[in-house]
Structure 1
C-alpha cells in the first residue's frame, strides 16, 4: 500500500470516528472503501480491457523504445 495524507473537516472526522467505533472497521479501511465506491461509480471509461496492439511495420530494440518514450514524455511536459 501507498501512504497518503488526507485533510478532513472536523464534522467528517467525528462521523468517521463514530462509524469506525460502531463497525469495528479502521478509519483507514473506511476511507479506502469510500474511495473505491466513488471510483467504481464513476462515469469515466475504465481501462479494464487490453491495450490495443500497434504494428509500426518494424521492430524496435528496448533502447529505441526507451528513447521514444522519453522523447514523448519530454515533448508533452514542455507543452504544459
Structure 2
C-alpha cells in the first residue's frame, strides 16, 4: 500500500470518527472503501488494456524498454 495524506473538514472528520466507532472499521478502511465506491461508480471510460509487449527481434537493455514504456503511457494519456 501507499501512504497518502488527506485533509478533511472538521465535520467530515467527526462523521468519519463516529462511523468508525459504530462499525468497528478503521477510518483508513472506510476512506479506502469510499474511494473505491466513487471510482467504481465513475462514468469515465476505463482503459484496462495491458501494457504493450515489444518484440523487436533483439535483446534490449532496461533503458530502451523504459523509454518505450514511457512513450506508450504518454501516448495513451494524451488520448483522454
Q: Structures share a fold, TM > 0.5?
A: yes
Could you say which residue in structure 1 is the equivalent of 2:28? 28
Larger-gyration structure (1/2): 1
Q: 1:1-80 alignment to 2 at 5 Å?
A: 1-51=1-51, 58-63=56-61, 65-66=64-65, 68-69=67-68, 72=71
Deviation at 1:32, TM superposition (A): 0.2
Q: Which moved more, 1:29-38 or 1:60-69?
A: 60-69
> Which fold has the larger relative contact order, with Cα–Cα distance below 8 Å and residues 6 or more apart in sequence?
2
Q: How many pairs were matched up?
A: 72
The alpha carbon displacement at 1:67 in A equals 6.6
Deviations 1:13-63, CA, capped at 9 Å, x for gaps:
0000000011110000000000000111111122224456677xx535322
Unpaired segments of 5 or more residues in structure 1? none
Structure 2 gaps, min length 5: 76-80
CA RMSD for the aligned pairs?
3.1
* Distance (Å, rounded) in 1 between the aligned partners of 2:7 and 2:19: 18
